[in-house]
């Protein structure tokens, strides 16, 4: 959950309890942890930034119900078509403007993602860049489910990114292959070096059985690289 100029935004909501299983024709995802805060406790959310709707670790059953309570859901065009109602689809590099509580304009831009190895088709996914119109304070980049590749690098060429929320965990679903489907720690380190002004706020790396790297690996490898000062852990909800 991000609070920006009087707005409250939420990335990929998953509010189901631990122990939930999600069966598909190819695999079953297993949820290991309860949400950090429940849907009833989180309060009013203005906008959901949904990387994609077709994987349960990005949008589970309770998360899908939660979408009805927000003003708008920004997501892929395919997801917006499926979800309907208050959902708005973004093409890569398409920008929409929303008014903030303090009289400014927040720009929300869709960014490229590659959800796994080259040539693998995991369905369309989007990331997001948030920045203020006519403001030089820099941008926030939410990667969505992606690995490190040219599309992510292109964000650095277009925006002065100061904070990155990388979707990490090195997710591996063995039934669909041995390749990681989200960013590894080492990929995030390469990204941190490429976006050399940005603080790194790891997200989407715990609570599910298919994540293969977690908090301890992130801490250790960033320390090994002398980059611990670039890490910024999200604080607990209060």
DSSP secondary structure string for all residues of 109-177: EEE----SSTT-------EEEEEETT--S-EEEE--S--SSHHHHHHHHH--EEEEE-B-S----GGG-
Helix axes 150-158, 185-194, angle to 10 degrees: 30
Look at residues 190, 149, 183 and name the one whose alpha carbon lies nearest to residue 165: 183
CATH class of the domain defined by 2-230: alpha beta
**How much is the pTM?**
0.96
pLDDT digits (tens, 9 = 90+) for 132-188: 998 778 999 999 999 999 999 999 999 999 999 999 999 999 998 999 999 999 999
Encode pLDDT of 193-234 as tens digits.
999 999 999 999 999 999 999 999 999 999 999 999 999 999
pLDDT in tens, 7-59: 999 999 999 999 999 999 999 999 999 999 999 999 999 999 999 999 999 99
Is there a contact between 113 and 14 (Cβ–Cβ < 8 Å)? no
* Residue among 49, 42, 45, 69 at smallest CA distance from 238: 42
């Amino acid at each position: 959950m991000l609070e920006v100029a009087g707005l409250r935004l939420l990335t990929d909501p998953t509010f189901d309890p631990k122990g939930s299983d999600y069966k598909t024709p190819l695999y079953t995802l297993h949820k290991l942890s309860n949400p950090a805060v429940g849907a009833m406790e989180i309060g009013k959310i203005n906008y959901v930034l949904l990387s994609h709707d077709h994987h349960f670790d990005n949008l589970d059953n309770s998360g899908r119900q939660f979408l009805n309570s927000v003003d708008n859901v920004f997501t892929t065009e395919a997801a917006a078509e499926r979800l309907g109602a208050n959902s708005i689809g973004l093409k890569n590099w398409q920008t929409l403007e929303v008014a903030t509580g303090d009289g400014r304009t927040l720009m929300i831009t869709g960014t490229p993602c590659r959800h796994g190895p080259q040539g693998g088709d995991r369905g369309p996914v989007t990331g997001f860049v948030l920045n203020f119109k006519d403001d030089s304070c820099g941008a926030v980049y939410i990667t969505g489910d992606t690995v490190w590749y040219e599309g992510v690098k292109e964000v650095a060429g277009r925006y002065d990114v100061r904070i990155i929320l990388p979707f990490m965990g090195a997710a591996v679903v063995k039934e669909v292959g041995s390749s990681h489907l989200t960013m590894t720690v080492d990929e995030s380190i390469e990204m941190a070096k490429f976006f050399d002004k940005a603080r790194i706020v790891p997200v989407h790396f715990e609570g599910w059985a298919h994540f293969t790297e977690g908090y301890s690996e992130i801490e250790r490898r960033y320390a090994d690289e002398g980059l611990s000062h670039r890490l910024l852990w999200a604080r607990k909800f209060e």
